[in-house]
Amino acid sequence: MKEVNQRKVAMIGCGFVGSASCFALMQSGLFSEMVLIDANTAKAEGEAADISHGLPFAKPMDIYAGTYDDIADAAIIVVSAGAAQKPGETRLDLVKKNIGIFGSIMPEIKKRDVGGILLIVANPVDVLTYAAQKMTGLPENRVFGTGTTLDSARLKYIIGQHVGVDSRNCHAYVIGEHGDSEIVAWSSAKVSGVPLSDYCALRGVCDFEEHKAQIAEDVKNSAYDIIQKKGATYYGIAMSVRRVCEAIIRDEHTILPVSSLQHGEYGLKDVCLSMPAIVGANGVENLIPLDLSMEEQEALLKSGQTLRQVLDDAMPETV
Active site residue 178: yes
d(CA 253, CA 285): 8
d(CA 239, CA 1): 30
From the CB of residue 100, how many other CB atoms can be counted at a distance below 10 Å? 13
Are 209 and 197 within 8 A, CB to CB?
yes
Which one-letter amino acid corresponds to residue 81?
A
d(CA 42, CA 196): 49
d(CA 19, CA 257): 23
Burial 132-170 (b: 16+ CB within 10 A, else e): bbbbbebeebbbbbbbbbbbbbbbbbbbbebbebebebb
d(CA 281, CA 17): 24
d(CA 179, CA 97): 17
Name the β-bridge partners of 77: 10, 118
From the CB of residue 90, how many other CB atoms can be counted at a distance below 10 Å? 14
Among 178, 211, 253, 263, which one carries the catalytic annotation?
178
Name the β-bridge partners of 279: 254, 284
Are 149 and 257 within 8 A, CB to CB?
yes
Cα separations in angstroms, 117 against 7, 83, 164, 300:
13, 23, 38, 27
Catalytic residues, which ones? Answer: 178
